[in-house]
């Protein structure tokens, strides 16, 4: 059992923020180091994966990941959420359910192998456009649902995208990893801990609940985390009586840049809502799926980080090739000239990232 380091919340906040934004000169380097980047289809004003990568990859522009994906040695799949990942993480996610594939599944798998690369519409043309009830209670094409199922279980991989639509192919290796379930779960714990940095055991177990098929009981899953602590792969750190786990070597940065960052709602710094509250004493909520009348901050309100403090949120939209950003604040709006200068620089950087001309933006400040 490793010793438990105890630190103040201020020191902890500094470590978490300082380690959250490593800077990379290229997208391949970034993905190899980050291991996983969460994806989301909402574009407001850009997709989540692009908003996260722009904070970490020099000169990144919206859409670069989708355009470069075929050359990145990367995969798509579901870790704690759907996203882009390194091949080693994807291999540990692939698992085959008991029983044989159904007739339509076998036929679609054979069709993708025959085509080499398959757009969902190719399968619609071949197998018809019958609709079935999907996971969310809505309607999806039967062939699309089968494609999703085959991809989830590793029979197919995403080789590229066309206008955001996944294009599938049969993996060269054909079969998923032969690594035992215990080792695979251990690898997924470490991958998730690598993405988030210091977080709690409860958060790790909860985020990996979609992979509970690997280990039957919570006791077994917790035992894996305990074994990683015993081995020194994970280490404890205690803050105000809250015990976190982290991979210490991956979070050695100490400098807090004097800047403003507008973050994606799913950025690793803010996704753990309990840690968010512990660090900044307020609750951030993603409201895209909240009825409009009940929203407090906005459809796609993005957390705003100033130095090491998340001070509020921003809503951004583009109209007539002009970026409009409205800032809202948890407490008071900072009045110093430094904040004004850095917030303007961040909005200018976002406009450039979106492919807009320099200076084509405006800022508003939401009244309390």
pLDDT value of residue 45? 96
- Among candidate residues 169, 203, 226, the one where a domain is terminated: 169
Question: pLDDT for 217-241, tens place per residue?
Answer: 999 999 999 999 999 999 999 999 9
How much is the pLDDT for 216? 92
In the Cβ-directed half-sphere of 343, how many Cα atoms lie within 13 Å? Answer: 25
Backbone angles phi, psi at 239, to 5 degrees: -135, 115
Distance set, CA 162 to CA 113, 143, 265 (Å): 19, 18, 25
Considering the domain boundaries, does residue 299 fall inside one? yes
What percent of the chain lies above the pLDDT cut of 90?
A: 81
Least confident window among 46-55, 149-158, 183-192, 299-308: 149-158
Per-residue pLDDT reduced to its tens digit, 65-101: 999 999 999 999 999 999 999 999 999 998 877 778 8
pLDDT at residue 149 tops 60: yes
- Please indicate, yes or no, if residue 175 is contained in any of the structural domains: no
Q: Is 200 inside any structural domain?
A: no
CATH code, domain carrying 105: 1.10.10
Angstrom distances, CA of residue 155 to CA of 105, 185, 209, 214, 229: 10, 20, 22, 18, 34
Q: Do the beta carbons of residue 220 and residue 255 sit within 8 Å?
A: no
**Domain limits for position 160:** 96-169
Residues 276-331: tens digit of each pLDDT: 999 999 999 999 999 999 999 999 999 999 999 999 999 999 999 999 999 999 99
Pick the range with the lowest mean pLDDT from 136-140, 175-179, 275-279: 136-140
**Does 223 reside within a domain?**
no
Give the model's pLDDT for residue 132.
46
Interacting residues of 37 by C-beta distance below 8 A, sequence separation 6+: 31, 49, 52, 53, 65, 83, 84, 85
3-state secondary structure (DSSP) of residue 158: strand
Please give the pLDDT value at position 139. Answer: 38
pLDDT tens string 18-39: 999 999 999 999 999 999 999 9
Number of structural domains in the chain: 2
| E strands in the chain | 5-7, 36-38, 75-78, 82-85, 131-133, 139-141, 157-162, 165-169, 235-239, 242-246, 260-262, 302-306, 309-319, 322-329, 361-365
12 located within any domain: no
Q: Check: CB of residue 30 under 8 Å from CB of residue 49.
A: no
How far is it, in rounded angstroms, from Cα 218 to Cα 206? 10
In a domain, 6, yes or no: no
Distance CA 33, CA 14 (A): 21
Residue 275 lies in a domain: yes
pLDDT-derived band of residue 9, with 50, 70 and 90 as boundaries? very high
CA distance 77 to 72: 15
* Last-in-domain residue among 109, 135, 169: 169
pLDDT of residue 199: 97
d(CA 173, CA 177): 10
pLDDT for the residue numbered 135: 45
Higher pLDDT, 243 or 98: 243
d(CA 343, CA 261): 8
Average pLDDT score, the chain: 92
Decide if 308 is inside a domain.
yes
Domain boundary among 153, 169, 185: 169
Taking residues 262-279, report their average pLDDT. 97
pTM: 0.92
């Amino acid at each position: 059992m490793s010793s438990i380091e105890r630190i103040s919340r201020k020191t902890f906040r500094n470590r978490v923020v300082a380690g959250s934004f490593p800077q990379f000169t290229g997208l391949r380097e970034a993905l190899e180091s980050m291991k996983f980047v969460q994806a989301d289809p909402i574009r407001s004003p850009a997709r989540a994966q692009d908003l996260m990568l722009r904070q970490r990859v020099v000169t990144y522009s919206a859409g670069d990941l989708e355009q470069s994906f075929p050359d990145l040695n990367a995969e798509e799949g579901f870790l704690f959420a759907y996203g882009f990942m390194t091949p080693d993480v994807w291999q540990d996610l692939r698992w085959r359910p008991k029983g044989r594939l159904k007739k339509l599944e076998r036929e679609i798998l054979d069709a993708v192998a025959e085509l080499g690369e398959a757009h969902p519409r190719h399968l619609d043309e071949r197998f018809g456009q019958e609709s079935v009830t999907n996971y969310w209670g809505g309607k999806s094409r039967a062939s699309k649902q089968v494609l999703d199922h085959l991809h989830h279980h590793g029979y197919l991989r995403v080789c590229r995208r066309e206008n955001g639509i996944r294009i599938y192919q049969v993996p060269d290796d054909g079969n998923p990893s032969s690594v035992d379930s215990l080792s695979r779960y251990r690898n997924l714990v470490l991958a998730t801990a690598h993405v988030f940095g210091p977080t709690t055991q409860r958060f790790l177990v909860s985020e990996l609940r979609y992979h509970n098929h690997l280990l039957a009981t919570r006791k077994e899953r917790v035992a894996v985390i305990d074994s990683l602590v015993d081995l020194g792969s994970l280490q404890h750190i205690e803050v105000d009586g809250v015990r976190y786990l982290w991979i210490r070597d991956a979070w050695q940065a100490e400098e807090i840049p004097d800047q403003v960052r507008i973050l994606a709602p799913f950025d690793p710094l803010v996704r753990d809502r309990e840690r968010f509250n512990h660090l900044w004493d307020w609750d951030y909520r993603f409201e895209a799926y909240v009825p409009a009348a009940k929203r407090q901050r906005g459809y796609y309100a993005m957390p705003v980080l100033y130095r090491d403090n998340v001070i509020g949120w921003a809503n951004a939209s583009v109209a007539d090739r002009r970026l409009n950003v409205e800032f809202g604040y948890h407490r008071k709006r900072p009045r110093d000239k430094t904040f004004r200068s850095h917030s303007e620089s961040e909005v200018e950087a976002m406009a450039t990232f979106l492919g807009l001309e320099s200076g084509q933006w405006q800022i508003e400040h939401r009244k309390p």
